[in-house]
Amino acid sequence: MKKILLSLIIIFVSSLSAQVKNISERQYFRQYDWEVTSSISLGLSGTSIENTLPDYYGYGSGDEEFYSEISLSLGFFILDGFSFEPELEYNFFSEDATFSLIANVSYTINIPRKSIYPYFKVGYGKSGYTAYNYGYSPDNSEGLFESLDANVINAGAGLKIIQSSTFAMRLELNYKYISYNQTVNTPYADTYDISTKTSALSIKFGGSFLF
C-alpha cells in the first residue's frame, strides 16, 4: 500500500512539474518570430548649441520644447527574446520635422505565466534634424527628405502586454540624442563651425503585430 501511495505521489508531482514547465515555457518573442510595431510618442526636447565664433555672437542652450514622433519598426528575433529592430521615425520638433532611420537591438524578458513582457532596447542611426536656428543655410545642405546627416543614439525601456496570440500593446519610455556638426557661411561673418546636440525624452504608445 505504501509503495502504491508513493508511486501515486511521484506520478502526481511529475505531472504537476510537467504542467508548470509547459506554462513557464516562453510563448512569445521566440527565435525566428517577427514583430511589426507602430507607435506614437509625446514628450519634451532641448537643444544645446556651440560655435567657433567669438562669445558676443552668442551660443548656449534653448528652452525645453514639445516633441512628438510617429514610428514604424520591424523586429526579427535572432534568439529567444533577442531581436534586431530597424525603425523608421518621423520626428516633430517645435519648428521642424524630419525622418530618422535607426538600427535597434532589443531584448524582451520572459516572466513565466505572465502576459506582460518587459523589454529594453538601444540603437544607433541617422537623422535629418540639424536643430539649425539662425536662418542661414549650412554648406552642402539638402532637402528635408534627402539628407540624413545627423547622428542619433536611441534607448528605451518598456512593457509589451499580450492582448491575443497575434497582438500586443506597447508602452515605452524613450530617450533620443541627436548630434550634428556643420560649417556655415553667412554674409555677416567668416565661415564658422557649429555643433548642435538635441535630447528628447518621451512616452511611446503603440501596438505590435506578432508573427
Asked whether residue 17 is assigned to any structural domain, the reply reads: no
Question: Is a pLDDT exceeding 80 seen at residue 2?
Answer: no
The predicted-structure confidence for 10-39, as pLDDT tens digits, reads as follows 554 454 444 333 334 568 999 999 999 999
Asked whether residue 45 is assigned to any structural domain, the reply reads: yes
Asked whether residue 7 is assigned to any structural domain, the reply reads: no
Asked whether residue 57 is assigned to any structural domain, the reply reads: yes
Asked whether residue 140 is assigned to any structural domain, the reply reads: yes
Asked whether residue 40 is assigned to any structural domain, the reply reads: yes
- pLDDT of 141 reads 47
Mean pLDDT to the nearest integer, 79-105: 92
Containing structural domain, residue 185? 27-210
- pLDDT of 182 reads 78
Q: Which of 89-98, 129-138, 176-185 is least confident?
A: 129-138
Q: Higher-confidence residue: 147 or 105?
A: 105
d(CA 196, CA 132): 8
Q: Which of 118, 147, 153 is nearest to 132 (CA)?
A: 147
Q: How far apart are the first and last CA of the chain?
A: 52
Q: What is the CATH number of the domain that holds 159?
A: 2.40.160.20
Q: Which of 181, 171, 177 is nearest to 205 (CA)?
A: 171
- pLDDT of 54 reads 55
The pLDDT confidence band at residue 76, using thresholds 50, 70 and 90, is very high
- pLDDT of 52 reads 65
Give percent of the chain above pLDDT 90. Answer: 54
Mean pLDDT to the nearest integer, 119-137: 79
Asked whether residue 150 is assigned to any structural domain, the reply reads: yes
Mean pLDDT of the chain: 81
| Structural domains counted in the chain | 1
Asked whether residue 8 is assigned to any structural domain, the reply reads: no
Per DSSP, 144 falls in state T
The pLDDT confidence band at residue 97, using thresholds 50, 70 and 90, is confident
Please give the single-letter amino acid code of residue 35: E
The pLDDT confidence band at residue 62, using thresholds 50, 70 and 90, is low
The predicted-structure confidence for 139-191, as pLDDT tens digits, reads as follows 444 544 557 889 999 999 999 999 999 999 999 999 999 998 877 776 666 67
- pLDDT of 23 reads 39
C-alpha grid cell, residue 112: 513565466
